[in-house]
Amino acid sequence: MLAAVRSATLIGVDGQPVTVEVHVSSGLPAYQVVGLPDAAVRESRERVRAAVLSSGFEWPMRRITVNLAPGGIRKSGSGLELAVALGVLGANDALPAGVLDGVAVLGELGLDGSVRAVPGTLALVDALARAGVECVVVPALNASEAALVGGVRVRAARTLGELRACLKGEEPWPDWDPPPDVPGDSDSSIAGDDELVDLGDVRGLPFARSALEVAAAGGHHLLFCGPPGTGKTMLARRLATILPPLTHREALEVTRIHSAAGEPVTGRLLARRPFRAPHHTASTAALVGGGSGRARPGEITLAHRGVLFLDELGEFAPTALDALRQPLEERSVRISRQPVSLTFPAGFQLVACSNPCPCGAGAQGCRCSDAQRERYRRRLSAPLLDRFDLRVRVDAPESVDVRGESSASVAERVAAAYERQCARYADWPWSQNAHVAAGAVPRLLPLGPDADDAWRALIAERILTGRGATRIRRVARTLADLDDASAIAVEHLDGAALLRSDVP
Amino acid sequence: MKGSAGPPAGPPAPPYDPVELAAAILACLPDMSPLRLHALLERGGGPVGALAALDRGIAAAVLCSDAPERELPARQTLARTWQEGATLDRITRVLVERHPHVFVAGRAGYPIDELPDRPAVLLAEGARPDALHAPRVAVVGTRGATPQGLDDARDLGRVLAEAGVTVISGLAIGIDAAAHEGALSVGGAVIGVVATGLDVVYPRRHRALFERVRSAGLLMSEVGYGVQPRRYAFPIRNRIIAALAQVVVVVEATLKGGARITAERAVEYGRTVMAYPGSRRNPAAAGTNALLYDGAGVVLEPSDVLVALELERPAPRPDLRTAPVGEARAVLHACHGEPATLDQLASRAGLAPAAVVAAVRALERGGWMERARGLCWPR
C-alpha cells in the first residue's frame, strides 16, 4: 500500500527534486506529513482531501503517512499537492502500477480538483530534467514555461480527474495554449514605455552618452552625478535600450530566476536583460535578498545579467548600500540561514544617479553648509564609490545642443564590441571587460606600443588605488573594443581616466 | 583618542616662573573653559592666588561666588575634582614632560593686545616661538574649498611667507591647510591655532602637517592636554585666530561657516579683514562676497595683503607655464574661467569628445586645468 511520486520544491532560486511517498495502512483514520514540510505544505492536507473527494475518488479512511524525501531539506510552497494526491490515489490502488515511472508531477490543487499554477515552474522542471526525469506533468498554465527547458516531455494537467484518466490512457493529454504573442512585455520594470524611450531623445551630453555606451558594452558599473533635472535619470533609463542581447543560455537562466522569485513569466524566455529600479526606501533584504521566513532573492538577483538602477543613491540607507559591496565583487550573494545557506546569483551591473549635495545644485549656486555637504558625501562610502568604473558629472545641456544618436545605432556598436569581448574571453569564465579578474588584467588587456608611458604617467599623477588603476584599464579596453582596436591606445586610457572622475 | 603627537623638537621653552606654572596648571584643569578660568583668576587674584585657593580647598567658594545660576552645580562638582591632589599632580607631570611655552595675559611676551575675551592663558609647542615677532596674517576659509580656492590659499601662503609674514590658520581641511602648505613650501613661519589639546591631532589626516607646523612654527591652544575635539570649541578657537592676526584674509567661505565667525571677531577686534571675490555661482564664494559687500578689503592678488600690512609689493612672478595652443586653447577658453563639465566644454568649443579628451589631458599636464568633483577647473 505504498506509492512514490516524483516532484520538486524551490530552494532559493533553484529547484530540488523531491520524492513524495504515500503510505496507507490500517489504523485509525489519520493524515501525517513528515520530512520537514513548511506550514503551506502541512496545510495542503485539506486541499488534497477535498480535491480527491470532489473528483469523485475515494479518500481512504485509514492511516495515511506522507513522506517528503530527502528528509533534510525544508519543503515549501503548495507545488507538491498534486503529487501527494496522485500518491494517495496510487496507494489506494486507484492508479495502475507503473504509469508514474519516470514522470514528475507539479501542481497546486483547488478544492474542486482543479490544478493551479505554481511559481518557479521553470526552475523546478530544469532541476527535474537534470535529475533524469523524462516527462513532467505541470499545471496547464505553466506548460509553455516548462517546455522552455527542453529535453523533457511536458504534459499539461487541468483537473485531477482528467489527469487520472490521461495517465490511465482513457483520454488524450490536453493541449496547452501557446504563450501570448506579445514580445518583450515581461520586463516589468520598463514595461509600457519601451517603445517610447530612445537615446535619441537626449540632447547634447556627448560624454554622458559615451559613458552609457561604454557601460553597456563592457558591463561597467556607472554613476551619474549632477544637479536635479539635468537628465541623469532619463539617460540611465535608456541604458536598457542599448544593452547587448541575451544569449539563449543567459535568457534561460534569467527567466528561471524570475520564475522562481514569483515574477510573472509569460511562458516565453525573457527577450531583454532585466532592468530593475527599486525605490530608495528599499530595505537591505529587499535589495540583496533574505527576509524573514523563506529567504527570497533580492533585487540584485532579479537584476542578474542585467542592470540594477538606483536613482538618488544618496537617499538609500547606508547599510543597504554597504551590503551591495560584497555581491558587486563576487557576483553572487550568500544568504546564511539556519539550517541552510543559499547562494543567489547576483551578476548585476550597477547604475546609479546621485545629487552632488542635499540641495542638489552642486558647485554652482548651492547653499548647503560645509557640514551638510560633508555628511551627504559620507553617506556614499568611499569603498562603494570606488567600485564604479565610470563616474560622470552631468549638467544641463547647453542651449545649442541638438538631439543625439538613436538607440538603434548605439546598440549596434555595443553589440559588436560585446561580440569582440565574448570572442576574446571564450576560454575564461567571464565575457565582458568589467569582469576580467584583476590578476589577469596585465596579460589579457595589453597596452599598445605608445600607451605604456601614458599609463605610467596616469598612475603617477593621480594617486590611484590599485583597484582604481585596474578599473581605468578595463574601461580603456572597452573604449578600444568600441573602436575595434586590437590594443589599448593613449586616447583610450585618457578617455577612461576622464570618465572616472571624483564625484560627488 | 583622535590621535596624539609627541612633544616638539627644537629649543625648549624657558623655565617657568611661578605665575606661568600656576597659569599653565589652571589652564590644563579638566573641563576648564574661558569663562571658568576667568572667574577663577578674577576671584583668586591671579594664577598663583587661584592655585593656592585650590590647594587650600576653597576652590568652590572662589569658583561659585558669582557664577550664573545654571552653572552652579557643574562648578561645585568641578571644584571638588580640581582640588584633588592627584589631578594637580598629573597636570604638573604632563607640563614637566612636554614643557610648552606659556603665555599669560597681561605679562610680557603675551601676543594679544588688550581685548575683552582674549584667552587668559595660551599654551604653545613648536620650534619657532619667534614666529610671533613677525607681522601676522590669518588665512582662513571653508573646508569645502574649490580647487581654485585651494590654489589661491597656497599662493597667498607662499607670498606672505616670502615677505617674512607669519601665516596663522586653524589647521582644518581645505583653505586652512592649503595656506600653511604654501607658507611651509618656502620655509615660512606659521602658527596653527587648534581647538583641542596640543597633544591631539585633529583632523587625523593632517598628522604630517601638524608635525611640519611644529618644526616650522608654533602650535597654539588655550585648552589643556588631552582635550578632544568638540563641535562647540571651534568657533571659540576662531576668536584666537582673529586676535593673533593683524590682517584676516578669507579666501573662500560659505555663508554659514567658521570662517565667517573668524571674520566677524576680527572686525570686533578692529583687525583688517580682507576677502577674495568669487563667482556669484560659487557657493564657496558666497561668504567672501558677502564680506566684500559689507566692506572688507578686496584681494585681487596676494600682494594686496602685503600692501595692507604696509609692506612692499614684490615683483610679480612670471608665469612659467607654456601657453596652450590649438584645441587645448579653445577648450580652456570655453571654461570662461569657471568650472565646467566635459559635456559643456565639448558643446561650447564645438569639438568631438575625443578631441576634448586630448585637450583636457594636455591642459592638465600643462598645469592649466584641474579635474575635481567631476568638473574641469581652469587655473
Examine the pLDDT at B153 and tell me if it is beyond 70: yes
**A201 close to A405: Cβ distance less than 8 angstroms:** no
State how far residue B371 is from chain A, nearest Cα, in angstroms.
7
State how far residue B230 is from chain A, nearest Cα, in angstroms.
14
Q: Determine whether the interchain pair A363/B146 forms a contact, defined as Cβ–Cβ distance below 8 Å.
A: yes
Structure confidence at residue B2 (pLDDT): 44
CB-nearest partner of A370 from B142, B341, B365? B142
CATH of the domain at A427: 3.40.50.300
Query: Do residue A356 and residue A307 come from a single domain?
Result: yes
pLDDT band at A93 (very low <50, low <70, confident <90, very high): confident
Per-residue pLDDT, averaged over A146-153, amounts to 87
Window from A7-21, A47-61, A263-277, A437-451 with minimum mean pLDDT: A263-277
pLDDT digits 0-9 by tens, A34-88: 888 887 777 888 899 999 999 999 999 999 999 998 888 888 877 899 999 999 9
Examine the pLDDT at A359 and tell me if it is beyond 60: yes
Structure confidence at residue A386 (pLDDT): 87
DSSP state of A19: E
Q: In 3-state terms, what secondary structure has residue B210?
A: helix
Per-residue pLDDT, averaged over A186-202, amounts to 61
With a CB cutoff of 8 Å and minimum separation 6, the contacts of B334 are B340, B344, B345, B348, B349
**B250 close to B282: Cβ distance less than 8 angstroms:** no
User: Phi, psi at residue A76, to the nearest 5°?
Assistant: -135, 165
- A371 located within any domain: yes
**B246 close to B270: Cβ distance less than 8 angstroms:** no
Q: Determine whether the interchain pair B358/A494 forms a contact, defined as Cβ–Cβ distance below 8 Å.
A: yes
Q: Determine whether the interchain pair B374/A226 forms a contact, defined as Cβ–Cβ distance below 8 Å.
A: yes
**A396 close to A229: Cβ distance less than 8 angstroms:** yes
Per-residue pLDDT, averaged over B105-130, amounts to 93
pLDDT digits 0-9 by tens, A56-69: 999 999 999 999 98
The three cell numbers of residue A295 are 529567504
**B102 close to B121: Cβ distance less than 8 angstroms:** yes
- A108 located within any domain: yes
Query: Do residue A150 and residue A216 come from a single domain?
Result: no
Judge whether A231 is closer than 8 Å to chain B, CB to CB: no
CB-hemisphere CA count at 13 Å for B330?
A: 16
Window from A65-79, A354-368, B1-15 with minimum mean pLDDT: B1-15
pLDDT band at A344 (very low <50, low <70, confident <90, very high): very high
The three cell numbers of residue A496 are 577612461
Structure confidence at residue A70 (pLDDT): 87
Q: How far apart are CA A326 and CA A308, in angstroms?
A: 15
DSSP state of A501: -
Beta bridge partners of A203: A403
Query: Do residue A160 and residue A201 come from a single domain?
Result: no
A407-424 vs A466-482: helix axis angle to the nearest 10? 110
Q: How far apart are CA A290 and CA B309, in angstroms?
A: 67
CB-nearest partner of B343 from A207, A369, A370? A207
What is the residue whose three cell numbers read 501542481?
A107
B46-55 vs B34-44: helix axis angle to the nearest 10? 90
Window from A180-194, A370-384, B98-112, B359-373 with minimum mean pLDDT: A180-194
pLDDT band at B87 (very low <50, low <70, confident <90, very high): confident
Structure confidence at residue A190 (pLDDT): 42
Q: Determine whether the interchain pair B373/A363 forms a contact, defined as Cβ–Cβ distance below 8 Å.
A: yes
**A118 close to A82: Cβ distance less than 8 angstroms:** no
Per-residue pLDDT, averaged over B283-287, amounts to 89
CB-nearest partner of B346 from A206, A373, A392? A206
Judge whether B250 is closer than 8 Å to chain A, CB to CB: no
Decide the pairing of beta strands B369-372 and A275-276. Answer: unpaired
Query: How many C-beta atoms surround the C-beta of residue B319 within 10 A?
Result: 8
CATH of the domain at A120: 3.30.230.10
Examine the pLDDT at A170 and tell me if it is beyond 80: yes
Q: How far apart are CA A131 and CA A151, in angstroms?
A: 12
Q: How far apart are CA A251 and CA A254, in angstroms?
A: 5
The three cell numbers of residue A467 are 583597484
Structure confidence at residue A184 (pLDDT): 46
Structure confidence at residue B120 (pLDDT): 94
**B361 close to A498: Cβ distance less than 8 angstroms:** yes
Q: Determine whether the interchain pair B343/A206 forms a contact, defined as Cβ–Cβ distance below 8 Å.
A: yes
Per-residue pLDDT, averaged over A452-481, amounts to 84
- A182 located within any domain: no
pLDDT digits 0-9 by tens, B177-202: 999 999 999 999 999 999 999 999 99
Structure confidence at residue A188 (pLDDT): 40
Q: How far apart are CA B277 and CA A390, in angstroms?
A: 34
Q: Determine whether the interchain pair B144/A393 forms a contact, defined as Cβ–Cβ distance below 8 Å.
A: no
Query: Do residue A128 and residue A271 come from a single domain?
Result: no
CA A396 to chain centre: 34
Q: Determine whether the interchain pair B353/A210 forms a contact, defined as Cβ–Cβ distance below 8 Å.
A: yes
What is the residue whose three cell numbers read 544637479?
A227
The three cell numbers of residue A399 are 542651449
Per-residue pLDDT, averaged over A448-455, amounts to 87
pLDDT digits 0-9 by tens, A315-339: 898 889 989 989 998 899 988 876 6
User: Between residues 397 and 426 of chain A, which touch chain B (CB distance below 8 Å)?
Assistant: 397-398, 400-401
B293 vs A202: which has the higher pLDDT: B293
Burial A15-46 (b: 16+ CB within 10 A, else e): bbbbbbbbbbeeeeeebebebebeebbeebbe
Structure confidence at residue A187 (pLDDT): 44
A376 vs B4: which has the higher pLDDT: A376
DSSP state of B31: T
Structure confidence at residue A304 (pLDDT): 94
CA-nearest residue to A402 within chain B is: B347
CA A300 vs CA A126, A208, A290, A322: distances in Å: 22, 24, 11, 13
Per-residue pLDDT, averaged over A93-108, amounts to 88
Examine the pLDDT at A186 and tell me if it is beyond 60: no
Per-residue pLDDT, averaged over A200-229, amounts to 91
First to last CA, chain A: 71
From chain B, the residues in CB contact with A225 under 8 A are 374
Structure confidence at residue A384 (pLDDT): 87
Q: Where are the alpha helices (DSSP H) in A175-247?
A: 206-218, 232-237
The domain boundary residue, chosen from A168, A198, A218:
A168
Query: How many C-beta atoms surround the C-beta of residue B297 within 10 A?
Result: 16
User: Phi, psi at residue A381, to the nearest 5°?
Assistant: -70, 150
Query: Do residue A294 and residue A145 come from a single domain?
Result: no
Examine the pLDDT at B255 and tell me if it is beyond 90: no
- Which domain covers residue A493, as residue numbers? 188-498
Q: Determine whether the interchain pair A498/B257 forms a contact, defined as Cβ–Cβ distance below 8 Å.
A: no
Query: Do residue A194 and residue A146 come from a single domain?
Result: no
Cα–Cα nearest to A325, from A300, A303, A295, A344: A300
What is the residue whose three cell numbers read 579638566?
B30
- A175 located within any domain: no
Counting the structural domains of chain A, the total is 2
Q: Which amino acid is at B163?
A: A
Q: How far apart are CA B98 and CA B91, in angstroms?
A: 11
From chain A, the residues in CB contact with B255 under 8 A are 367, 369
CA-nearest residue to A391 within chain B is: B374
The three cell numbers of residue A38 are 513548511
Largest CA distance in chain B: 82
Question: Which CATH architecture fits B134-195+230-308?
Answer: 3-Layer(aba) Sandwich (3.40)
B301 vs A362: which has the higher pLDDT: B301
CB-nearest partner of B374 from A491, A497, A503? A503
Select the residue from B341, B356, B369 to test the A interface by mutation, using most A Cβ atoms within 10 A: B341
Largest CA distance in chain A: 88
A464 vs A443: which has the higher pLDDT: A443
DSSP string, A253-293: HHHHHHHHTT----SS---S--EE---TT--HHHHHSB-SS
CATH topology of domain B326-378: Arc Repressor Mutant, subunit A (1.10.10)
* pTM of the model as a whole: 0.80
Structure confidence at residue A364 (pLDDT): 58
Cα–Cα nearest to B165, from B186, B195, B193: B186
Per-residue pLDDT, averaged over B257-264, amounts to 92
First to last CA, chain B: 39
Query: How many C-beta atoms surround the C-beta of residue A111 within 10 A?
Result: 13
Examine the pLDDT at B4 and tell me if it is beyond 70: no
Check whether the bond before A70 is cis (ω within 30° of 0): yes
Query: How many C-beta atoms surround the C-beta of residue B92 within 10 A?
Result: 14
**A118 close to A107: Cβ distance less than 8 angstroms:** yes
Structure confidence at residue A299 (pLDDT): 94
Burial B202-216 (b: 16+ CB within 10 A, else e): bbeebeebbbbbbeb
Q: In 3-state terms, what secondary structure has residue A211?
A: helix
Per-residue pLDDT, averaged over A172-180, amounts to 76
Query: Do residue A161 and residue A261 come from a single domain?
Result: no
- A178 located within any domain: no
A466-482 vs A451-461: helix axis angle to the nearest 10? 140
Share of chain A above pLDDT 90, in %: 46
Query: Do residue A113 and residue A249 come from a single domain?
Result: no
Query: Do residue A203 and residue A157 come from a single domain?
Result: no
Query: Do residue A313 and residue A194 come from a single domain?
Result: yes
With a CB cutoff of 8 Å and minimum separation 6, the contacts of B317 are none
Structure confidence at residue A412 (pLDDT): 94
Residues spanned by CATH 1.10.10.10 within chain B?
Answer: 326-378
Structure confidence at residue B126 (pLDDT): 94
Q: Which amino acid is at A235?
A: L
Q: Determine whether the interchain pair A394/B353 forms a contact, defined as Cβ–Cβ distance below 8 Å.
A: no
With a CB cutoff of 8 Å and minimum separation 6, the contacts of B15 are none
Q: How far apart are CA A213 and CA A408, in angstroms?
A: 12
